[in-house]
Amino acid sequence: MELKDILAISGKPGLFKNIGQSKNGVIVESLIDQKRFPAFAHERISSLAEISVFTTGEDVELQKVFKIIFDKYEGKEAIDSKSDGEALKSFMKEILPDYDEERVYTSDIKKLVSWYNLLAGADLLEFPEEEAESESAEATDEAETEPADEEKPEAAAEDSKS
């Protein structure tokens, strides 16, 4: 499942799968207990695809951070989100060395780790952009190897002579 379909709702624990639209918002399903309920438009709802992590350079998309953790832990769950603050900060330094320590709080790291563990436990982590990038690179390579059609200008010139 893509991260754009996974939602975080302010004030509600865990993550939610977008099931469909309702008159006043969206219907979501909890990834923790699979209960479905409406999430209303006035609630702060964020798609995980829209979230990024502050770094000292450019911000890094959450999906890229999840990919780094996924590769490091071989698809298994990471550290416990209830670990002490220093353990969480050292984990974050290990995963994303240039994260902005002033703007990324311990509570943010806890949330990131709990989200990752929830998605990894439910086997919902997919990284489709790698496939898309390799397909677009192959398409570019094929386009570069095809010979240019140079007969068209001559054909146009012949048509104009007639």
Model confidence pLDDT, tens digit, residues 72-82: 988 888 999 99
Topology annotation, domain 51-121: Arc Repressor Mutant, subunit A (1.10.10)
| Domain 3-48 CATH (choose: 2.30.30.730, 3.40.190.150, 1.10.10.10, 3.20.20.70) | 2.30.30.730
**Would you list the domain boundaries of the chain?**
3-48, 51-121
* Confidence at 140, pLDDT banded by 50, 70, 90: very low
pLDDT digits (tens, 9 = 90+) for 72-121: 988 888 999 999 999 999 999 999 999 999 999 999 999 999 999 999 98
β-pairing, 52-53 with 60-61? antiparallel
